[in-house]
């Protein structure tokens, strides 16, 4: 699979690189959090990360002063497994290089995305990237099997917390798995086995051989 750089023109349809942010102290705070022995961990908001000065900068500049949360996704991963989207952009910053597997909302047809539509992008250490609200994404992939990945995740406050209670009124309502989170799962994923909407068709992409 071709792995593009986020500086490649191909990334413009999915997001953009943000400029003018000092990520140094945030990276140190992220590196202080131990990696899980296997798999992936995620927390929507982490106090030690939100204590970094960049938190206010991201809130006021990247999100125009709207309430945000600063958490992290971290661990070991090389597979696609799922794609999700939010009603807002997401900002990611890695403590090391990492890979994002991305598609677009307008590629959803009858509740399904063909994984042939997915593109891979490598994000350099410490570079903030905005992933647009119209971009499908999920857990990052590591570039180093030993190092794993640590990726800061900035989203509107409350995203990925408890799912609101409601009676589904349309098909999309059935895809929501958490607050402000709509999920399309590959049949092979644990999420699908736990009842998530099966919305990916084709190969469950694995970048292991492309690293």
Domains assigned to the chain: 3-79+88-161 (2.60.120)
> How many other β-carbons are positioned within 10 Å of the β-carbon of residue 172?
12
Q: What is the pLDDT of residues 11-21, one digit of tens each?
A: 999 999 999 99
Enter the tokens of residue 94: 């890695």
Q: Residue 40 has what pLDDT? A: 98
Q: Residue 33 has what pLDDT? A: 98
**Strand, coil or helix: 68:** strand
| Binned average pLDDT, 10 residues per bin, the chain of 211 residues | 98 98 98 96 98 98 98 98 98 98 98 98 98 98 96 98 97 98 98 98 97 88
The DSSP-derived string for 19-40 is: -S---HHHHHHHHTSPPPSSSE
Q: What percent of the chain has pLDDT over 90?
A: 100
Q: Residue 100 has what pLDDT? A: 98
Q: Residue 180 has what pLDDT? A: 98
Do the bridges between strand 119-123 and strand 3-5 make them parallel or antiparallel, or are there none, so unpaired?
parallel
Contact between 123 and 152 (Cβ < 8 Å): no
């Amino acid at each position: 699979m071709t792995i593009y750089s986020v500086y490649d023109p191909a990334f413009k349809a999915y997001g953009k690189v943000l400029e003018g942010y000092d990520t140094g102290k945030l990276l140190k705070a992220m590196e202080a959090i131990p990696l899980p022995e296997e798999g992936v961990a995620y927390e929507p908001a982490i106090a030690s990360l939100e204590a970094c000065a960049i938190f206010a900068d991201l809130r006021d500049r990247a999100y125009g002063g709207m309430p945000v949360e600063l958490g992290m996704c971290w661990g070991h991963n090389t597979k696609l497994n799922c794609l999700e989207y939010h009603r807002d952009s997401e900002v990611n910053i890695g403590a090391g290089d990492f890979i994002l597997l991305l598609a677009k909302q307008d590629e959803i047809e009858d509740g399904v995305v063909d994984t042939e539509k997915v593109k891979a992008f490598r994000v350099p250490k410490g570079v903030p990237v905005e992933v647009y609200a119209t971009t499908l994404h999920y857990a990052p992939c590591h570039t180093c099997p030993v190092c794993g990945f640590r990726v800061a995740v900035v989203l509107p406050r409350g995203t990925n917390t408890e799912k609101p209670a409601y009676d589904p009124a349309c098909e999309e309502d059935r895809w929501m798995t958490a607050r402000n989170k709509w999920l399309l799962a590959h049949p092979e994923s644990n999420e699908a086995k736990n009842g998530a909407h099966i919305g990916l068709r084709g190969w469950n992409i694995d970048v292991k051989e492309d690293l």
